[in-house]
Structure 1
């Protein structure tokens, strides 16, 4: 694909050489040193993959990724894609088309193809049309890492016709397994040849009986175990057709999973709030369900006035209620008769006789075999019409009886309400009459009765007082006990609520841990697959030598950095000591000169010169420090300028403007063609 390129770049150059974009290729010559010259030669195959398209050669002066043109970048990426994934890369052109819209589409297609291969960096059409050195380097390194190792395939490839046949068969099987399954009605001709319809069948499942106990951890009953051991058929023999075995197993597995999931959701949402064990919660739920079924059956057992089959369903429902444990109440309900049921029984018991009489009369009137079939059909139609008329009369009569029963039931309810009210008023009047009678009996001996009543009241009052004192003696410890129990109950409720929250948190953590374990297991399988797909014949010596050289370079850099830091610390200490010494010397000199300046005029001038000298020296030191700060800022700005120059911002902007003008010209040309059309 590319011709041999030899790049020689100084070790302290900031930009990586062209060969640094391809670190995983096996170089023909590898002599590297961080302080000397780096030289790499990268050899690529000269295979043509695009059918007659001439390969682009790299110029001799290209020694860095920064010097790659857009055409060279596009061709390199397309050829790498064709080697990595031929179906993905064969649909891409290695040359840039002349139109700008087509270029943009090609750039978007290349970006999408790289993302499909697993590239995680930022990529778009601008990566290829307005390239940046770091982006192109990372993209080319990613593609080179994905390239298959030709030497590994050649070393692992066996020789012989049988080996070639096995390789072709494995490739064909791998290609067919990579294709998704499509229903027969949606298959193209190619899929119709590769995916046969002979093995397809309808998904029919049957219920399976599995030998396990439904009780949580409880062993099955002995009879059930004997049945499982001696009489239960294997799972593969239970369905009527052998083709239904996978479908039945899949459906049973799905049912078990859904039941377990529903139970877990119900237990986490409702079961934990009841503070019961799982067995207790299940038993309570079963009892509630059985009670609701009994109530529904009892309600259904009540004979409906408008239903002609009410009494006939009673015995069956009674037997069903017996099975649910409601025989006592259900039996009384079903055995109770009403006026309507008796009337209906009489009607339906008399009906067979009437029909028999009619059939006898018809038989007497019916002539012998000499009658024609038409006369028989006419007689049957007449009989059917008579029976239908009789049925209509009976239904009308039943509706009338039902209306009468409703009126009678309403009147009975009213009479029963009036009876209850009169019984209550009679009871109150009897109580008042009883009190008045006792009062009248006590009137003849009123004084003695009043004295007895007074003594009785006093004794009752004394007794009430004594009982109150006794109650107070018992009441105080009971109140204390009640308060203690309430406090204990509240503490238990708080503790149970806290434990409930902890249990919910533990369930959430368990669920999260299970999800994380599944994710990690999937990642582990993916990494194992990638590890198995990696080539096993990679030369470890070259990588080890390279790693040792990198470690040596890092060690040297660390030593140099440590040396520079120690020199900087020593210089800072020396500067600090000199600054302190200068300050002390100036303070002593200032004090001595200031004492003599009060007496001598020349010394006073010397003091002024000393102060001016100290101020000028301070300004000079500050100027030197500011100069150092400015120099550091200048170096930082220069590095930033070099980085921006590496991004080729100005040239990219110029190219974008030119492309924008080209797109506008194309749009105007297309608009003119549309107007002409």
Structure 2
């Protein structure tokens, strides 16, 4: 707090507060100095509001109360949200005064901090120019293009209006994933050939839109991966690499099934399963095209190949005979006769072809009918074979029964002997099974218990992992907020006046940060030790409960038979109860010690608040008010 107080005192001196050199802390501020500092800050923040406020306290107590109330109202008007009243100024409290002064110092305008002796670099000059241009554009009201006058063409040019057109970008950090090494060729391409981002879009106006779209795509992908991993990935109990590979294999398998179903002909696809109605199958079916069925090459049978070969040979022989018959008098025939003959031959060939097609169709239908009939006959034959085998078995049983009928008495005795032997063998097997069954059941119960314990442990660890993920997300958000606050504080530090030694402040801040880091490490160590102790206590408690349960069960079994064991069982129960009471007493003692420490901290806080001194000052002020009231009453009587 000493460093904070020194910074506050330096800022108050900058606004004109007369702080003595020996004053090094807010704790040493008097009521008059507090009022002066607050009024000076309010006058700098809001001159109209602070001009009516006095910089010193009047001698009368009632006037002091009125000044305190007006100062509290002024602080609330400029945005102070803390608890404030006349007692804040008259009966000062160190934490309240420090928070109020910090608020007022933060509200001070920063324009006066831009001194001419500040180091100005290219980045600082560029940032100032950008800020000035943005301020100038924000001051000018925006008008639609149709309502603009020639006067507005300089500030609001129509050239800045363009459509939001996005083009894909190639960024090096996007092509490289975590834990993956890029190829040398890829690195060479990105270093030597890949153009910069501003040169990749075809139009310069699309650069900003493309960068924003790329950034939003990366953020949405990262958020989707986080949500998917927290919801499904953790439940799969796989590593992220295994989860991604399994997901990729499932996607590839699905694509292969879609391609296979789309590449099959309609009959085969109907045979293999119902046609898929997904978008991918429809697109692939559209890419197949609608070629005529007669142009598709199909695999024929031996009969179709033989018939086709025979028909082609016959047609060729007929054409050769016709050619030889017409080749002799070709010189004596006219062209019209030749055309008529060709037309007749074409018609005859077409009729012959149609006849062959009809024959082929008839043969195809006959073959289908015969194949169906053959399948039906084969099914009937199989059913009859099954029925014959069942009848044979029944006949064998009946034959054996008929063979046993002549010697019924002896056969009955043999059957009874076999039944008795079978019963004895069953009893023997049952006894042997019981011998084997008992250890197997015990082993099954033990394994089942281990499995249930493992399930409970895995569910507990899964819940811990989810809670850790939530804590990591919260910590990340807090770190981002703190990073933003840090950047803001750095910018404010750069804008501070250069009269003070910046290196000294920087050194002090670094010392404070190092102390905070040390304290944080100590706190982390204490927390880890506390967690380890808690885990050890929990394990010992569980072990104690399990040991007592097992001991209680064993002693209780023997207590039914032996009187001495029964007394031991009573002593065991009394020992367990006394131990529980002792543990409870220790826990209560720890709770009482914590409450004592909390009360001591509260006492220290009250001592810091100077409650006793403030009460004495209030009593003195009360006596002064009574004296003023009595003096006023005497004046009224005299008048």
TM-score by length of structure 1 reads: 0.41
Give the number of the structure with larger relative contact order, counting CA–CA contacts within 8 Å between residues 6 or more apart.
Answer: 2
Greater helix share, 1 or 2?
Answer: 2
TM-score by length of structure 2 reads: 0.43
Larger radius of gyration: 1
